[in-house]
């Protein structure tokens, strides 16, 4: 477990992590809307009172709100920031043709889908950049060796490929770590390839001190190597695969919660995100950037859930409209959005209580009362 970072790092980390993810999400909606000729009244990062803003030549008000918990694009014809459909007939004729509600259902579907899609695209861009500039995940080729590490002492060199550790085949450095971490301060035999020749070296595994989930000190084995980057042409497919795997893991997690096999401790809200963002920021740029990619995937996935007020709810309604060949009634929309709001408020309450529990607030209150 990491030491709790200062509150200012948590706040700055949270804002710097959430803002680009939300911006990219809303930019997806905005750009595809512009492609289809839909006018945008407001592009907002954050909610509440405007801190700073400007109006562009197309009449869109770009602004930053004081509450950095999301954002929205309000298109011409939207009833509110949640994109509840308004009555296009009430608009002036010059605005009606550029309003969101009058566009064909397939265009509205793509405009809404573009937000989550932009989040997945952002994650792919981040991972591709990391894999092509820092290290790829599926390689056993060494790109960097930490000075005075176990690998450096044993004479392992940059460009070597670690083929096996203590008889365990290691096609990736993740496999290397899985063998090394349980063996702190032990000698292991490493089979590596250098210049086309295979050789073996004896290595005394280093020790990294850490803490487990209970706060107990543990020793972790460490070799002191990181992977080599790959070309951008290899990085993009790898980044796409990584994004798909993380998304699939999210789907599995939600399914486990629904059937009662998951733990409620795995569900976090803004407080938990802020805490993790602060911890990542205190560790450096690389962990922070990786967490931005993870948050972007989670935001894209959550927005695809078929809950009214969220993108997935809109997509569900447009799918129903395409099947029925007519939109749902205004009353049906009203009740659906009320239900969606109730679900979101209940989820926010649940995650907030869960977050406060995870930081030990209820335990401290109990000790004070007791």
Q: Convert the pLDDT of each residue in 75-123 to its tens digit.
A: 988 765 555 665 556 677 767 788 888 899 999 999 999 999 999 999 9
Q: Domain ends where: 227, 243, 263?
A: 227
Q: Within 13 Å of residue 185, how many CA atoms lie on the same side as its CB?
A: 5
What is the CATH number for 170? 2.30.42.10
Do residues 289 and 220 both lie within one domain?
no
User: Which residues are 162's β-sheet partners?
Assistant: 192
Residue ending a domain, among 227, 249, 282, is 227
C-alpha closest to that of 62 among 73, 78, 49, 48: 73
In a domain, 171, yes or no: yes
Run of H or E including 345: helix 330-358
Q: Could you give the CA distance from residue 267 to residue 284 in angstroms, rounded to a whole number? A: 25
Residue ending a domain, choose from 196, 227, 258 = 227
Percent of the chain topping pLDDT 90: 41
- Is residue 220 located within the same domain as residue 292? no
pLDDT band at 203 (very low <50, low <70, confident <90, very high): very high
Of 94, 154, 90, 324, which Cα lies nearest the Cα of 162?
154
- For residue 22, being part of any structural domain is answered with yes
**pLDDT tier at 137, thresholds 50, 70, 90:** confident
Q: How do residues 267-326 score in pLDDT, each as one tens digit?
A: 666 677 777 777 777 777 888 899 899 999 999 998 998 887 789 988 988 998 888 888
Instruction: Report, as residue numbers or ranges, the catalytic residues.
Output: 26
Residue 284 structural domain: 7-36+103-132+272-369
pLDDT band at 359 (very low <50, low <70, confident <90, very high): low
Q: Give the pLDDT confidence of 187-200 residue by residue, as tens digits.
A: 999 999 998 899 99
Asked, for residue 107, whether it belongs to a domain, the answer is yes
Same domain, 109 and 196: no
Q: Which of 106, 78, 72 is nearest to 90 (CA)?
A: 78
Asked if 127 and 180 sit in the same domain, the reply is no
Total count of domains within the chain = 2
The more confident residue out of 314 and 350 is 314
pLDDT at 21 over 90: yes
Higher pLDDT, 23 or 6: 23
Asked if the structure places residue 1 within a domain, the reply is no
Mean pLDDT of the chain: 83
Shared domain for 118 and 160, answered yes or no, is: no
Give yes or no for residue 370 having a pLDDT over 70: no
Q: What is the Cα–Cα distance from 358 to 104, expressed in whole angstroms?
A: 46
Share of the chain above pLDDT 70, in %: 83
Q: Tens digit of pLDDT for each residue in 22-70?
A: 999 999 999 999 999 999 999 999 888 899 999 999 899 999 998 887 8
For residue 142, pLDDT over 70 is answered with yes
| 306 and 201 both lie in a single domain | no
pLDDT average, residue stretch 185-212: 89
- Does some domain include residue 213? yes
């Amino acid at each position: 477990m990491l030491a709790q970072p200062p509150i200012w790092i948590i706040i700055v980390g949270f804002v710097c992590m959430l803002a680009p993810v939300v911006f990219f999400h809303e930019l997806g909606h905005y750009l595809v809307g512009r492609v289809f000729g839909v006018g945008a009244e407001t592009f907002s990062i954050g909610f509440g009172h405007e801190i700073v803003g400007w109006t562009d030549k197309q009449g869109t008000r770009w602004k930053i709100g004081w509450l950095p918990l999301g954002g929205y694009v309000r298109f011409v014809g939207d009833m509110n920031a949640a994109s509840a459909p308004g009555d296009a007939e009430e608009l002036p004729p010059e605005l009606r043709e550029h309003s969101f509600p009058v566009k064909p259902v397939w265009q509205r579907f793509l405009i809404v889908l573009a937000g989550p899609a932009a989040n997945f695209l952002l994650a792919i861009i981040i991972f591709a950049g990391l894999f092509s500039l820092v290290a790829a995940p599926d390689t056993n080729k060494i790109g960097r060796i930490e000075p005075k590490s176990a690998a450096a002492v044993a004479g392992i060199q940059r460009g070597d490929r670690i083929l096996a550790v203590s008889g365990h085949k290691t096609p990736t450095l993740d496999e290397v770590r899985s063998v090394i971490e349980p063996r702190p301060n032990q000698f292991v035999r490493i089979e590596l390839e250098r210049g086309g020749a295979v050789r073996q070296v004896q290595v005394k595994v280093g020790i990294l001190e850490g803490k487990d989930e209970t706060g107990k000190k543990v020793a972790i084995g460490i070799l002191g190597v990181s992977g080599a980057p790959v070309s951008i042409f290899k990085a993009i497919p790898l980044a796409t695969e990584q994004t798909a795997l993380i998304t699939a893991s999210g789907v599995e997690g939600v399914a486990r919660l629904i059937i009662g096999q998951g733990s409620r401790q795995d569900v976090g809200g803004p407080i938990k995100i802020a805490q993790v963002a602060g911890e990542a920021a205190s560790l450096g740029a690389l962990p922070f950037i990786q967490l931005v990619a993870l948050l972007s995937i989670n935001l894209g996935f959550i927005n695809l859930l078929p809950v009214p007020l969220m993108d997935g709810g809109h997509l569900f309604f447009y799918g129903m409209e395409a099947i029925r060949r007519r939109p749902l009634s205004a009353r049906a929309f009203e009740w659906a959005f009320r239900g969606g709001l109730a679900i979101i408020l209940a989820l926010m309450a649940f995650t907030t209580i869960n977050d406060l529990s995870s930081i030990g607030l209820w335990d401290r209150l109990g000790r004070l009362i007791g």
